[in-house]
Amino acid sequence: MFSLAKLSPTITDMIRFDHSHVLVTFHQFTQDKKPSVKKALSDTICAALDIHATLEEEIFYPVMRTIDADDPVLEKAPHEHGDMKRLIRELRTIPGDDDRHDRVLLELMREVIHHVADEETVILPIAESKLSKERLSELGTQMTKRRVALLAPQAGKVAASTTVGFSGSTTAWVVGAVGAVLALAVASSKKPAEV
């Protein structure tokens, strides 16, 4: 039988992967892209950040608060998520051919890059030094299950946005294939929490 617990990466590795995914997607953005591609890239980024923030807020941050509740980086993280969510809501309402789209996307990515730097240089190393490998893996499995549940309702849209956003890229076929497989896996899952 398939065992998610045996395959799931640690929670800290998953967080790093999420950061890399958003940054790789952002690196596909240039101002000369077609508006439809710009919008697809921003949609992919927004969906990934929404899910990532929810996972951190529901699973990772509560555990980290039991370890070091007074860490200033941990204290400001929810506020940074709030700023990013505000920009995501705004970005989702702006068409790809509107001049504001690029400005808001770039502002969002400045926020993301700052937040990622704090997490990867402060919070993740603390987690890895204070939590056992087994606990990090348990949390990774918990995060994977919750990710599937959050992604399921929007899997098709995420796969389509990813494919359009990476069109013309040398990595488009890989990203499109991975997105399609993920969408099929999530869509065919009757009970995502039991994966």
Predicted confidence (pLDDT) per residue in 34-60, tens digit: 999 999 999 999 999 999 999 999 999
Q: What is the mean pLDDT of residues 107-118?
A: 96
Closest CA to 130 of 174, 36, 65: 65
Between CA 22 and CA 36 the distance in angstroms is 18
Structure tokens at 8: 């799931």
The DSSP H or E segment spanning 168 is none
Cβ(53)–Cβ(87) under 8 Å?
Answer: no
- Check residue 129 and give its pLDDT: 96
Q: Which residues of 26-58 are buried (b: 16+ CB within 10 A; e: fewer)?
A: bebbeeebeeebbbbbbbbbbbbbbbbbebbee
Between CA 170 and CA 44 the distance in angstroms is 18
- Check residue 2 and give its pLDDT: 47
Give the helix, strand, coil percentages of the chain, each rounded to 5: 80, 0, 20
pLDDT band at 125 (very low <50, low <70, confident <90, very high): very high
Q: In the chain, where are the structural domains located?
A: 4-194
Cβ(136)–Cβ(11) under 8 Å?
Answer: yes
pTM of the model: 0.81
The beta-strand segments (E) located in the chain are none
